[in-house]
C-alpha cells in the first residue's frame, strides 16, 4: 500500500484525503498544526451561536462538485441571499455587487449615468490593473464610491494599480441589472447541519491518520521525506495545502499574505440585518471591511444574534496577494516540486480566488492522476 502525506487539514486537505479514501489502496497521513481539521471552514460556537472564520457558504458553477458534497452533507439553497455596501459619504446602503437600480438614488446619479454612457469595452478588456478595470467598467464615480477605498483597506495597500491580477474581481458585467438569478447562475448553499461542514471533515478523514497540533519541522520535498513528532517519515506521494515557500525554506523569499482579525459580538436582538442579507461591506474609512450575521445563513434559532467583524491585518496568512510578481515567485516554488508532489488549495496554489469548490475539484483531479 502506497503512503501519502497531506500537509494541512483545511478543506483542500480533507477533500484530498476523502478522494484517495474513496479510490482505495492508500495509507493516508494528514498533518495539521492547528487543534482541529477544517481550518477557516470549521464551525466553532460563541455563546451557542455557530460560526466559521468569516462567511463560508459554498458558491460554485460546478454541478458535479455541488452534487458530490450534497451527497455527504445536505446543503440548503441560499441563492436568494443579498449583500449590501455602506457608503459613508452618501450615508446610505446600496446593493453589492453594484446594481443599476441603485444609481438613481445616488447624489451623483447624472454624473454616473454620463460615465456609464462613455464606457468602452476595449478599455475594459485591456485593463492592466484593478483601478483601470473598474474605471473602465463603471466610471470613476462608482469606482471611488464602492471599490477604491475598500480595496486599499482589504489588501492593506496605498495604490490599487498594484493589483495587477484581478481574476477574482467580477468580469464582463461589473454593473448588474434585474434579479440575481438573471445574472448569476451559481449554486449558493450552506449545510443544514448546525455544525456546518464539521461532519463532512469527519467523514472525509475517518480512514486517515490525522495528526493535530503537529508541526512539520523539516521538509525534504525532493526525496519526499519530512520530520514531525521528532521522527523522519518517507512517503510515495505528498499533497501540500500550505504556502509553498514553507516547503523550501523560503529560498526565493517569503510569499506575502494579508491576514484577518475576527471579532465576535452578540447583540440582544433576534436579527440585526434585513431579511436575506448575510453580509454588510463597508467601503469607507472604517477599519473593518465586512460584518457578517451568521444566523442569517446558519438558521440558528436564538433571541439574540451573533455578528462577526473582519479587520484586515498582518495577523495570519489568510489571503495571497493578487500581484503577478508574487504569483511568479510562487510559481518558482511550485516548479521545484518533483513528480508525485502536488500543491492545491488557496494557500497551496497561492491563488486568492481558489474557494471551497475549487479545493474539492482540485482534490478530485489529483485522485484521477494517481489512479
User: What is the pLDDT, as a whole number, of residue 169?
Assistant: 66
User: Alpha carbon of 39 to those of 56, 207, 250, 268, 277: distances in Å?
Assistant: 11, 19, 23, 29, 25
Q: Note if the bond before 97 is cis, omega within 30 degrees.
A: yes
Q: Which three cell numbers stand for residue 365?
A: 483531479
Q: Quick check: 173 pLDDT over 60? A: no
**314 located within any domain:** no
pLDDT in tens, 181-205: 655 678 999 999 999 999 999 999 9
Give the mean pLDDT of 5-30: 98
**287 located within any domain:** no
Q: How far apart are CA 272 and CA 37, in angstroms?
A: 31
User: What is the pLDDT, as a whole number, of residue 79?
Assistant: 86
User: What is the pLDDT, as a whole number, of residue 120?
Assistant: 85
Answer for the pair 145, 86: CB distance below 8 angstroms, yes or no: no
Question: What total number of domains does the chain contain?
Answer: 2
User: Alpha carbon of 142 to those of 21, 42, 84: distances in Å?
Assistant: 49, 36, 15
Q: Residue 202 belongs to what domain range?
A: 2-42+197-256+321-370
**303 located within any domain:** no
User: What is the pLDDT, as a whole number, of residue 181?
Assistant: 60
**363 located within any domain:** yes
- pTM of whole model > 0.85? yes
H helices, E strands: number in the chain: 12, 20
- Domain end residue (candidates: 185, 214, 246): 185
pLDDT in tens, 294-348: 999 999 999 999 999 999 999 989 999 999 999 999 999 999 999 999 999 999 9
Q: How far apart are CA 248 and CA 36, in angstroms?
A: 25
Answer for the pair 350, 244: CB distance below 8 angstroms, yes or no: yes
Whether 34 and 152 share a structural domain: no
Whether 151 and 236 share a structural domain: no
Give the mean pLDDT of 34-44: 96
User: What is the pLDDT, as a whole number, of residue 168?
Assistant: 64
User: What is the pLDDT, as a whole number, of residue 283?
Assistant: 94
Q: How far apart are CA 146 and CA 9, in angstroms?
A: 35
User: What is the pLDDT, as a whole number, of residue 228?
Assistant: 97
Residue 12 belongs to domain with CATH number: 3.50.50.60
- Domain end residue (candidates: 161, 185, 209): 185
**120 located within any domain:** yes
Answer for the pair 154, 160: CB distance below 8 angstroms, yes or no: no
Pairing of strands 218-220, 290-293: unpaired
CA 123 remoteness from chain centre: 28
User: What is the pLDDT, as a whole number, of residue 151?
Assistant: 95
- Domain end residue (candidates: 131, 161, 185): 185
Give the mean pLDDT of 220-243: 98
Q: Quick check: 132 pLDDT over 80? A: yes
Whether 337 and 236 share a structural domain: yes
Whether 106 and 174 share a structural domain: yes
How many beta carbons lie within 10 A of that of residue 101, not counting itself? 11
**340 located within any domain:** yes
**Side-chain half-sphere exposure of 78, counting CA atoms within 13 A:** 28
User: Alpha carbon of 44 to those of 37, 53, 85, 203, 264: distances in Å?
Assistant: 12, 9, 27, 18, 11
Whether 205 and 336 share a structural domain: yes
**74 located within any domain:** no
**pLDDT band at residue 50, thresholds of 50, 70 and 90?**
very high
Give the mean pLDDT of 18-22: 98
Whether 206 and 168 share a structural domain: no
Short-list 254, 241, 312, CA closest to 33:
241
pLDDT in tens, 115-126: 999 988 888 889
Give the mean pLDDT of 266-286: 95
User: What is the pLDDT, as a whole number, of residue 184?
Assistant: 66
Whether 214 and 343 share a structural domain: yes
Whether 106 and 178 share a structural domain: yes
The angle formed by the CA atoms of residues 23, 13 and 335, to the nearest 5 degrees, is 95
Whether 180 and 241 share a structural domain: no
- % of the chain exceeding 70 in pLDDT: 96
Q: Quick check: 171 pLDDT over 70? A: no
Whether 217 and 358 share a structural domain: yes
Amino acid at each position: 500500500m502506497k503512503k501519502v502525506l497531506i500537509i494541512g487539514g483545511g478543506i483542500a486537505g480533507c477533500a484530498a484525503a476523502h478522494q484517495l479514501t474513496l479510490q482505495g489502496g492508500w495509507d493516508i497521513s494528514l498533518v495539521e498544526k492547528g487543534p482541529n481539521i477544517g481550518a477557516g471552514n470549521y464551525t466553532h460556537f460563541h455563546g451557542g451561536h455557530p460560526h466559521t472564520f468569516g462567511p463560508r457558504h459554498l458558491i460554485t458553477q460546478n454541478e458535479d462538485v455541488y452534487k458530490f458534497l450534497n451527497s455527504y452533507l445536505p446543503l440548503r439553497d441560499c441563492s436568494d441571499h443579498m449583500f449590501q455596501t455602506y457608503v459613508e459619504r452618501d450615508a446610505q446602503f446600496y446593493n453589492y455587487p453594484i446594481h443599476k437600480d441603485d444609481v438613481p438614488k445616488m447624489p451623483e446619479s447624472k454624473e454616473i449615468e454620463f460615465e456609464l454612457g462613455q464606457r468602452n469595452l476595449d478599455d475594459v478588456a485591456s485593463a492592466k490593473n484593478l483601478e483601470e478595470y473598474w474605471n473602465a467598467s463603471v466610471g470613476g464615480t462608482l469606482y471611488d464610491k464602492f471599490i477604491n477605498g475598500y480595496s486599499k483597506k482589504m489588501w492593506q495597500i496605498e495604490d490599487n494599480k498594484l493589483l495587477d491580477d484581478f481574476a477574482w474581481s467580477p468580469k464582463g458585467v461589473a454593473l448588474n441589472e434585474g434579479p440575481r438569478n438573471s445574472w448569476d447562475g451559481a449554486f449558493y448553499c450552506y449545510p443544514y447541519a448546525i455544525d456546518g461542514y464539521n461532519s463532512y471533515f469527519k467523514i472525509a478523514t475517518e480512514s486517515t491518520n490525522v495528526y493535530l497540533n503537529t508541526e512539520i519541522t523539516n521538509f525534504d520535498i525532493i526525496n519526499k521525506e519530512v520530520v514531525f513528532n521528532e521522527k523522519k517519515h518517507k512517503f510515495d506521494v505528498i499533497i501540500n495545502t500550505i504556502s509553498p515557500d514553507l516547503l523550501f525554506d523560503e529560498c526565493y523569499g517569503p510569499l506575502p499574505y494579508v491576514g484577518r482579525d475576527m471579532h465576535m459580538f452578540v447583540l440582544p436582538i433576534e436579527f440585526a440585518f434585513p431579511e436575506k442579507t448575510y453580509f454588510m461591506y463597508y467601503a469607507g474609512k472604517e477599519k473593518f471591511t465586512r460584518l457578517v450575521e451568521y444566523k442569517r445563513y446558519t438558521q440558528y434559532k436564538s433571541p439574540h444574534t451573533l455578528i462577526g467583524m473582519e479587520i484586515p491585518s498582518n495577523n495570519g496568512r489568510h489571503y495571497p496577494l493578487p500581484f503577478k510578481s508574487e504569483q511568479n515567485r510562487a510559481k518558482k516554488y511550485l516548479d521545484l516540486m518533483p513528480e508525485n508532489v502536488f500543491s492545491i488549495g488557496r494557500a497551496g496554489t497561492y491563488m486568492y480566488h481558489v474557494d471551497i469548490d475549487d479545493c474539492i475539484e482540485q482534490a478530485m483531479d489529483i485522485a484521477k492522476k494517481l489512479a
